[in-house]
Chains A and B, each alone.
Chain A
């Protein structure tokens, strides 16, 4: 007969895991992500390397080197960088203003509520709002023209116009993303710096700036990815051509003059996926780094 040392008779030595059904609750989420994010991404990647008939080819990828594609990528990067930089700076300043006030004050409640709405305000509605106010036939444009000032709303349909319009949702997004980081900065750190002989400048230079730099850069990358991937606002404003990559993809998919470009569109989308994935990976790394500091 064998015996198990240290285990009273009659007790099982098995400590096996109990089967849990709690994971079932997340199945709808993962099913949704799989069906509408992972599957389309996978198809884009595969079809970027194939002809419409399904034959393998690198010609779609080679199209990424065409000058019009590189120009569109460069404009997309310019647009994303400019709106991320301006959005990050002004959003951070606004968020700082908010956390400087009372935690449950009217300013904070108002700004966070408005930012929550405006951060999701992109698309046709936003484009329409700008068109009817400062577009070619916009109210403000016409009023200025009536007073004898020679203005045109044409700028709205160029890169500079997209920058202004995108800031409408980029700045509020920055406020929402950066507020938790600012909330994590403890007032004791400033007081400790002062009691150790440091000035306000010393506090910002040695304490606040190093602590806030990772979340700030992370938020900048998130804004960059957000602008880079945005489509509906630009599409509503600019109906022809492809000055940025999302519009270039639209042109490739729907062009009635150059047919058979669907898989080139997928190669362009693959390029976007790579840029956004790199930005989001860096964002995630920076968030993780600062999370343990600014809890």
Chain B
């Protein structure tokens, strides 16, 4: 890794950002601080405001209220070309009449860097993303994954203060998406640049980000480490949107919840009294039970066994309490098959209990 590519990240603050499109509020007072060199993923469904937030940060749209502060400097009124931010778009953003090298060198050309120097730096960036051999190819001669890597190299070539990634993997097939996702993270760590990554794919967000912000209806529902967002969802929306959740009747008393007779710790945002516990499938274990007709509410019949490769998902019918998903390593699930009786046990991870 060449020394010239690394740089200290800067802090980015979005303060009370608002954006409205007619009667629709796309962003409803968003507050978000990205630490220097941090990689934050904004995750949410279509129309939640995550792309709007990124575009306001880039200066591609004007905010109706709030401020954008980068490295301590208010850039809210600055146009995009004065903000010094590199951006990777969803797709089709490479200039089709330029080669990969010319694309990467374009930002340097705009900065009037000499041809020899910009070609050297473009070559360095293409090496960083593993595309030195494709330097003289045009966009239509490269795969979608290669094009996005060139776009990443182009965004980084100008040594921006902030890197913005607007769903850069969504147009790629699953295998390329996974490898490029890791590639982006590797490059970001090497360069040390403050990064905002927008995606609707929870797996992507959880896999690469230092912190994940889950957005809904223009607001940030939860911001935290991937394990925290997944394991301790702060709101029903986060619990429903990130990963799968079983919905089981529960009664909360203090910091504990009674879930069908089992006592489980709760997260702070839980309601007190009766409610619905949101329990992850992987927090549910199964124990084989011989006897039929037990009135234990945690015992039921296995109605489906889904092999998913490394893990297996088993559906247990609890009768009046509905069906529960349990997910476990495939080796552990080998003893269960459809029609078997099984009893549920829960791992003692904190759960969220919401209003019924």
Contact = CB atoms under 8 A, between A and B. Distances in A.
A and B are partners in one complex rather than unrelated chains? yes
Nearest to A188: B93
Contact of B81 (A188, A189, A199): A199
B87 A192 contact: yes
Nearest to B83: A195
Given A191-B60, A191-B80, A191-B87, A196 B110 contact: yes
Contacts of A199: 81
B243 to A, nearest CB: 32
Given A194-B60, A195-B81, A186 B93 contact: yes
- For the residues of A in contact with B, the DSSP-based class is helix
Contacts of B82: 197
Interface in A194-240: 194-199, 202, 206-207, 210-211
Contacts of B155: 195-196
B92 interface: yes
A285 interface: no
Contact of A195 (B80, B90, B91): B80
A196 B163 CA distance: 11
B275 interface: no
A198 B95 CA distance: 14
A195 B97 contact: no
A293 interface: yes
Contact of A192 (B84, B95, B109, B111): B95
22 contacts: A191-B58, A191-B89, A191-B93, A192-B87, A192-B89, A192-B151, A193-B81, A194-B80, A194-B81, A196-B81, A196-B106, A196-B107, A196-B154, A197-B81, A197-B82, A197-B158, A198-B81, A199-B81, A211-B95, A211-B97, A292-B140, A293-B96
Interface of A: 186, 188-189, 191-199, 202, 206-207, 210-211, 292-294
Given A191-B89, A192-B89, A206-B109, 16 more contacts: A188-B92, A192-B151, A193-B110, A194-B60, A194-B80, A195-B60, A195-B80, A195-B81, A196-B86, A196-B158, A197-B110, A197-B111, A206-B106, A210-B97, A292-B140, A294-B96
